[in-house]
Each structure stands twice: as structure tokens, then as C-alpha cells.
Amino acid sequence: MTDDVVERARQALHAAEHVVIFTGAGVSAESGVPTFRGAGGLWKTFRAEDLATPEAFARDPRLVWEWYGWRRTLVAACAPNAAHEAIARYAASRRGVTVVTQNVDGLHQRAARDANASVLALHGTLFGVRCTGCGRRAPHDGPVDATSLGTLPRCDACGALLRPDVVWFGETLDPRVLDAAFDAARSAGACLVVGTSAVVQPAASVATLAARAGATLIEVNAEETSLSSAADIVLRGKAGEIVPRLLE
């Protein structure tokens, strides 16, 4: 990747009145959080059908909680990397920047807390629960005892099982969060897509909607993706190295 391409991307971002930054698991890879697809990805070892669907939870909530508890502990030991930090500083330092993430690891939010910027999390959070009975949501970041059905977390209000506050396959996304992301995409002059294979819908439409609305599409990814051919500028490499060069 030449300085010239980086400069072109910097200029496209600078010229845009509205910028959408759309991220996936690859932005957190250098923090030590496993991605989903590709080498070392979670879906190489685990089946989404067994762990990340409402049917899986109905069948075996203990197994699902065990897996989410493991991921929570893993992510809690990770810290935001140079890409999360550069994105948070950039979003806090200029108007018209919307950060949209598919990640449930909270690392953008942890970086943004220091930089005082907000994040649209399309797929929810590992560090929250939702009641399967009354629908109440609450932060929940402690360890989960998944030794048996009886030890799983339950709702204080109605006694029903609590579930991780993430969006599983076959579930609809929170319409307010999705609409806010789509609105930002439609008005973006530039869309920076970082570390996503862009195969999960409707999330991936953030990038395609922005491109269709005329935004310059900039992809930062270690590998080629389904989006690469549609991108105006492709920056091949690690998010933690490229993103700070683009945004600072």
C-alpha cells in the first residue's frame, strides 16, 4: 500500500460532510478478540446453529450461556487497540461522524468513553442481558455460572431466564439502531469499512447503501472481501496500523 492511496482516502474523508465508519470483528483482532470467519475464526470451531440462534437457546440455554460466559471473560481481558482509539478520537473531534459496529465486544465503546463519542452497536452487547419473559434489559458484566440450568441468571422482576443481549441469527435488529445506521449511511459522503467480511445482513447493507448514495467507499481489511470489488479505495493490511494513519 502506497502513501498515495492513503492520502487519497484521507482526502475523501476530509472532503465528506458526513462520514460513516462501519466495523466488524477484524477491528478487534489485534486486541486479541477472535473473529468469526477465516483462519482462527469462532465459526471454525463452533456452529452458529448450536450457539447463536434463539432455537439454540431454547434447546440448551446452559450451553449457550457457557459459550457467552467464556467470550465475555475473554473480551474483558482485552483492551481497545490503536484502531479503536483513532476512531474514537476522530468521531469526537469532528462533526458528522457516525460509528456503526457489528461487534458485541464493547471495545469501541470503551475507547469512546475516554474520547466522549457514541457508537451504534447493531448486534447488541456481550455485557448485557435481556429477560426472555418480560423483555427487560440490563447491563450484566460479571461472571456467569453455567454449571446447571438452576445457576443461570434470572430476572429479578419476573423470574424468567435472562439471555445475552445480542442479536442472534434469525432475529431482527433493534429498528431504532438499524434506522439510525441506515440514515447515516444514506447521507454519507464517505464510508470507511474496517475489518468485516460484510456477509451478515442486514448489517452489511450499511456499506452498500452508502455506496449507492454516492459515498466514497474505503475498505480496510487484511484480506479480500465481498465488498472489495465495489470499494473505491482498498487498503489491504491491519486495522491497527492503517486506521490511525487515515484518521490522524
24 binds, among Zn ion, ligand BV8, none (CB under 5 to 8 A by kind): ligand BV8
Pairwise CA distance, residues 125 & 226, whole Å: 26
**Least distance to Zn ion, CB of residue 188, Å:** 38
**Whether residue 123 lies in the annotated active site:** yes
* Nearer CB in complex with Zn ion: 32/133: 133
Instruction: Tell me which of 2, 45, 148, 201 binds ligand BV8, using CB under 6 A.
Output: 201
The residue within the footprint of ligand BV8, chosen from 138, 222, 228, 230 (CB under 6 A), is: 222
Pick the closer one to ligand BV8 by CB: 84 or 123: 123
For 77, the 3-state DSSP assignment is coil
Which one, 102 or 109, has the nearer CB to ligand BV8? 102
Length in residues, the chain = 248
Place of cell 469532528: 94
Q: Which is nearer to Zn ion, 159 or 170 (CB)?
A: 159
Whose Cβ is closer to ligand BV8: residue 40's or residue 150's?
40
Interface with Zn ion, residue 156, by CB under 5 A: no
Q: How far is the CB of 159 from ligand BV8 (least distance, A)?
A: 25
Question: What is the sign of the dihedral through the CA atoms of 112, 117, 122 and 124?
Answer: positive
Please pick, among 18, 84, 108, 123, the residue that the annotation labels catalytic: 123
One residue of 21, 75, 87, 155 binding Zn ion per CB under 5 A: 155
**Inter-residue contact 223 to 238 (CB < 8 Å):** no
Q: Does 152 bind Zn ion (CB under 5 A)?
A: no
Residue 155 interacts, among ligand BV8, Zn ion, none and using kind-specific CB cut-offs from 5 to 8 Å, with Zn ion
Residues 131-150 contacting ligand BV8, CB under 6 A: none
Is 158 a binder of Zn ion (CB under 5 A)? yes
Q: Contact between 104 and ligand BV8 (CB under 6 A)?
A: yes
Q: Choosing among Zn ion, ligand BV8, none, which partner's interface includes residue 231 (Cβ < 5 to 8 Å by kind)?
A: none
| The amino acid at 225 | T
Give the angle 131-132-133 at the CA atoms, nearest 5°: 90
Separation CA 17–CA 100 (nearest Å): 17
Output the DSSP codes for 146-191: -SSGGGS-B-TTT-PBEEEEEPPTT-PPPHHHHHHHHHHHHT-SEE
* Smallest separation (angstroms) from ligand BV8 to the CB of 99: 14
Question: Among residues 151, 223, 226, 248, which is the contact residue for ligand BV8, using CB under 6 A?
Answer: 223
Q: Where are the alpha helices (DSSP H) in 60-160?
A: 61-76, 82-93, 107-115
Residue type, 63: L
Q: Which of 133, 142, 170, 202 binds Zn ion (CB under 5 A)?
A: 133
3-state helix, strand, coil in the chain (%, to 5): 40, 20, 40
Q: Are 144 and 68 in contact (CB under 8 A)?
A: yes
**3-class state of residue 19 by DSSP:** strand
- Please give the positions annotated as active site: 123
